[in-house]
Structure 1
C-alpha cells in the first residue's frame, strides 16, 4: 500500500474550503486513489477558521525569522467519509482568511505579499509534520500550484528537512499565470527575512524576468521529481512564449518547462469529473433559486454597497418565475481577466450576443464575483440590457441549476488550463461554446459536442466568438435534429477521474508502484 500526502491551498472534500477548480481536484483524486487501495493524507491551511470543531493531533514547532513558531495540526471531518482518506488543516494566527473566497488575499500594491507569508508558515509546518512522522512513512507527495512549492525549497536546501528527499514528489500546475513572485531580500515576504540562516542559491531560484526576485512556481517546476499540467493541450501551450492577448503560453517560464520536458519529467494529463447519478429534482428551479439567492444576499451587511443592484436583478427575473425564456445561455466563473477578458476589452461583442438572444426571447445568466472592474462593467451592461441577468453573488443551488437547465454554456476564457465547468455542463447534455484553448481544446469539438471559436488576431477571435454564438443559436432554432445530436454527443462524453488517475499511476507515481 502506498501512502500519499496531498498538499494544497483548497480542498472541497471539507466544508468552506473551495474557491476554484483546485478544490475539486483535491476532493476527487484522493477518492480514486483510495479505490485503488492506497492511503491518502490531505492537508490545507486552516485560514483561522477551518480548525474549529476539528481534533487537535499535535503541535508543530519550527524556526522561521530566527524565532520559534508553533502551529497546530487538526484532523477535520470531511463531507463524505472514506476509511483510506484523512483530512487535516494547519492553524496558526498568521495563516489568515483572505478576501477572495475566505482563502486568498488580494494585495493590490504588492501581489502575493500576504499569501506568501501565510504559505511560508503553512509549508514549513507541513515539513515539520512529515519530520515528526505524523502521517506515517510517505511514499508520494503531490503538491499543487505555487502555494505549496516551498516544500521543494525546504526539501533541497534546508538541512532539517532533508529527509523529504526520499519522498517521490509530484508538482501540479493548475494555473501557470499565478506564480508567487517575491523579492529575495528587503521585504517582509522575502526569503532572507523568513530563512535568515540558510544559504540562498539565488541562481537556482531566480525569476527569469526579475533578477531580484524568486519565483515559487519556478521552484516547483525545477525541483519536483515530475511535473504535470491539467490537460495535454495546456502542456503544449505553456512550452511556447506568451503573446498576449492573442496567446497565453509559458508566461516567462517556458524555458524551465522545456528543460523539464527534455528531461522526461513533464506531462499533460486531463483532469476528470465526477459522474454521479442524476439528481431527482425539478427541472424548473433556476429562476426560483436565483430569486432565493438574491433575497438571502440583500439581508447581509457585507453587500450593502450593491443592494440596489441585487434588487434590480431580482426584478428582472420575476417574469421567468412563471414562464421560462425562449433560450438560456449561462456562465459560472470568477470575474477575472482569464475568464472574461474578451467582454472587458470588447463589451460591444457581448452587446451583440445579447441583441441576438433578444430576437428569440433569450437571456444570458452569468453568476460570479471577482475583480471590481469586471463587476462594475457587468452591472453596467445589466442596466443596459433587460435580457442580461448578472448574479453578482455566489450560490451552489444556482450553479447546479445552471448546469442542469441552461441551453448553452458559454466559456470565453482567454486561456484555460483545463476547465471543469464545461465537463459539468456536458454531462447534463448541455452544449458549450468555448474559446479553442488549453483544456477546452481537449474537451469540446465544434458542432459535435458543442461549439468553439479561435482566430489569429484578437479581432478575429472576438468576431468569431460572436459568429459561433450566432451559429449555435441558428442550429438550435432551425436544425432541431442536429441540436439533439450535439446534446446527445455531449452527454455521452466521459472525462473520468479513473482514467486520469490511471495516467497518474503510470506517469507520475510509477517509481513506487
Structure 2
C-alpha cells in the first residue's frame, strides 16, 4: 500500500518531537516500510527543518489562504537511506513559525486558546490538500491524519469546492489525546474558519458535523476528524472504550470530552478502532546504569540547564545541592530503592500526586513511606504551578530530586537505574513512559486507565490502582505504593520475577503495523 502520514511532529527529526505523536510518527512508518508498504511522512517545517543539511527543496504549492495566495515550499529530508520506501517531507512557510523558528507549539493566552497554532496548521492543511490535488506524493491508497492539527485536511477534501476530485480519498484519523481539540470560532477572529477559508460558508458545511457541540459558533477540528474520516483510531483499546462515555469531573473521569456521541456513532458504524501504540526494542539490551553514573549524568544536565539561564534558577540550585547531599551520604549508605518518574508535569500526569489528604499532598505520603529507605527522582516540566509545587516539596523532603526540564539522554539512564516507575496519570490515552520503564526491567505503579490498563498487569509486571472517585484513587495510590515497597523489602525473589516479567513484556511495532493495515487501511 502507499500511505501518506500527516502530523505536527516527527521524532525522526532532531527537535521534531514534543510528545507521543512524535514517537509514533518516528516508529510506525518504519514498521510499515519494513513490511513492504510505501510510506511518506509530512509535517510543517517550522522554519527550521527546511534549513537542515539533509533538506532538499523539491517543489512548492500555491494555496489561497485568508483571501491571499500563499507560496508553500516542499522539502525532502533524506534521513532514511535504509528504507527506500520511507520518505520524510516538510512543507514550509514563514507563517509556520509564529512564535519562534523551530518551535512546534505556541503558548496562547486563555482568552484565545490555540489561536496561532490553529492558523499555522490551517495553512499547513491547505498546503497538504493542494499537494494531494497535484499528486506531489503520487497515487495514494490512504491519507492518515494525526490529531486536531491535521483534521482540516479532511474538511477541505470533503467540503471545499476546490478539492471535489479528492473528496473520495480514503482518510484515517488517529486520536492521540482527545482533551486537546483545537476549537476555534467559525467567524469574527483572525484565527477562525471564515478568515482562513471564506469559501467554506454555512451552506457548504450543511450536513457535516463540524461545529463544536458545546459552542455552536465554533468549529471543532477533533470532531471534524472523527466525523469526516473513514476510520478513527484511538491509541489503546481501553481508551477507545473510555472516550465513548460522558466526562464526569466529580469522579475525575475524562470520558469523551463532549464528543462522546460522535464517538459512539463511530463505534456503532465500526469506524472507531482501538490500537495500542508500540515501543522499540533494541536487539541488544543496554547495560544497567549504576547510581554513580546516573548522578554524573544528572550533574552534567543540571550544569547545562544552568548556563542556559541568565540568572541562577532556584530549582536548579536546589537540585544541585540535593545531588551533592545524596552523593556524600551514598559513600557510606546508598539508598535501597530508587523510585522514578519521567513525564510532563500537567494535570493529566500529576494532579493525583498534588491532591490533598488531611492538608498534605499525596506525594508527601509517598515520600514519607520512602524515608530512610529510598529516594524518588522526577524528571519533567510543564505547568508552572506543578513545577513550583514539586520544587517546594523537594525543599521539604531530602529523598526527592526534581529535575525540571527536558533531556534527550537522561530518561534512558533513569529508566535503567530505577527500581519502581511511578505513573499515576488521571487519564492516559496510551502512554510510552511505562513501556520504556518496563523495557528496562522496571515494574510500574500506575492508575489503571486507558493504555495503562492495556500495558500494565497488576501483580505481573507492575502495580495498579483505581477507584470510583478522587478520594478512593488517592487512597489506592498510597496503598499500592506501600504494597510495592513491602514486596521489594520482604521478597527479593518475587520482586526479581516481577522485574523479569516487566522486561519481557512486548508491544511490537511490527504487530501494530499489521493491525493498522488490517483494521484501518483496507
Q: Aligned to 2:353, what secondary structure does the other structure show?
A: helix
Specify the alignment match of 1:333 in structure 2.
Answer: 343
Instruction: For 1:217-228, list aligned pairs within 5 A.
Output: 217-228=222-233
Ranges in structure 1 where 5+ consecutive residues have no aligned partner: none
Paired residue for 1:125?
Answer: 127
Show the 5 A alignment for 1:360-439. Answer: 360=373, 362-439=374-451
> Equivalents in 2 of 1:139, 1:75: separation in Å?
21
Secondary structure of the 2:60 match is strand
> Structure 1 residues 102 and 326 mapped into 2: Cα distance closer, same or farther (>3 Å)?
farther
Q: Which residue of 2 aligns with 1:350?
A: 363
How many residues align? The count is: 506
Q: How does 1:439-458 map to 2 (within 5 A)?
A: 439-458=451-470
Structure 2 residue runs of 5 or longer lacking an equivalent are none
Alignment of 1:220-259 (within 5 A): 220-244=225-249, 245-259=251-265
CA contact (8 A) 1:15 1:78 kept: no
> For residues 355 and 385 of structure 2, what CA distance do their matches in structure 1 show?
11
Aligned position for 1:279: 286
Residue 149 of structure 1 and its aligned partner are, at CA, apart by 0.4
CA distance in 1, matches of 2:384, 2:339: 23
Asked if 1 retains the 8 angstrom alpha-carbon contact of 2:46 and 2:102, the reply is no
Shift of 1:214: 0.8
- Rounded to whole Å, the distance in 2 between the matches of 1:473 and 1:60 is 59
The correspondence of residues 239-318 of structure 1 with structure 2, limited to 5 A, is 239-244=244-249, 245-276=251-282, 277-280=284-287, 282-284=289-291, 285-300=293-308, 303-304=309-310, 307-318=313-324
Q: Separation in 2 of the partners of 1:339 and 1:101?
A: 26
Give yes or no for contact 1:3–1:137 (8 Å, CA) kept in 2: yes
Q: Deviations over 1:151-203 (max 9, x none)?
A: 00001111222333342211000000100111111011111111112323266
Describe the shift of the 1:474–1:297 C-alpha distance in structure 2 as closer, same or farther (beyond 3 A).
same
1:344 Cα deviation after fit:
3.0
Structure 2 match to 1:138: 140
1:107-158 per-position Cα deviation (integer Å, ceiling 9, x unaligned) = 1221111110010011111111112211111111111000000000001111
Distance in 1, Cα, partners of 2:469 & 2:199: 50
Aligned to 1:67: 68
* Preserved CA contact (<8 Å) 1:15 1:79: no
Counterpart contact for 1:14–1:77, Cα < 8 Å: no
Shift of 1:12: 0.5
Determine helix, strand or coil for the equivalent of 1:373.
helix
- Aligned mates of 1:108, 1:325 — CA distance in 2: 44
- Is the Cα–Cα contact under 8 Å of residues 354 and 361 in structure 2 kept in the other structure? no
- Distance across 1 between alignment mates of 2:179 and 2:78: 33
Q: How far off its partner does 1:474 sit? A: 0.6
Deviations 1:239-295 (CA, angstroms, capped at 9, x unpaired): 101112521110100000011111111110111111112135753422111100001
Equivalent residue, structure 2, for 1:210: 215
- SS of the residue 2:351 aligns to: helix
The 3 A distance-change label for structure 1 pair 55 and 272 is: same
Contact 1:97 1:104 in 2 (8 A): no
Separation (CA, whole Å) in 1 of partners of 2:326 and 2:285:
24
Per the alignment, do residues 176 and 49 of structure 1 end up closer, same or farther by CA in structure 2, a change over 3 Å counting? same
State how far apart, in whole Å, the 2-side matches of 1:79 and 1:419 are: 26
SS at match of 1:396: coil
Between the aligned partners of 2:158 and 2:418, the Cα distance in structure 1 is 50
Alpha-carbon distance change, 184 to 410 in structure 1, aligned in 2, over 3 angstroms? same
**8 Å CA contact 2:231, 2:272 repeated in 1:** yes
Please provide the CA RMSD for this pair.
1.7
> What is the CA–CA distance in structure 2 between the aligned matches of 1:52 and 1:101, rounded to whole Å?
10
SS in 2 for 1:78: coil
The answer to whether the 8 A contact 1:14-1:79 is kept is: no
1:397 deviation in Å? Answer: 1.8
What secondary structure does 1:137 align onto? coil
TM-score between both structures, scaled by the size of structure 1: 0.95
- Cα offsets for 1:352-411 (capped at 9, x unmatched): 111111131x11111111111111111111111111110011112210101111001100
Relative to structure 1, the CA distance from residue 446 to residue 236 in structure 2 (aligned partners, 3 Å threshold; closer, same or farther) is same
Contact residue 355 and residue 474 of structure 2 kept, 8 A: no
SS at match of 1:62: strand
Judging changes above 3 Å, is the alpha-carbon distance between structure 1 residues 188 and 95 closer, same or farther for their aligned structure 2 residues? same
Q: Could you tell me which residue of structure 2 aligns to residue 26 of structure 1?
A: 25
1:457 deviation in Å? 1.2
| Cα contact 2:443–2:502 (8 A) shared by 1 | yes
| Counterpart-to-counterpart distance in 2, 1:180 and 1:253 | 13
Q: CA deviation at 1:31?
A: 0.7
How far apart are residue 304 of structure 1 and its match? 3.6
Please report how far the alpha carbon of residue 494 of structure 1 lies from its aligned counterpart in structure 2 after TM superposition. Answer: 0.8
1:194 paired to 2:206: no
Q: Which moved more, 1:322-331 or 1:166-175?
A: 322-331
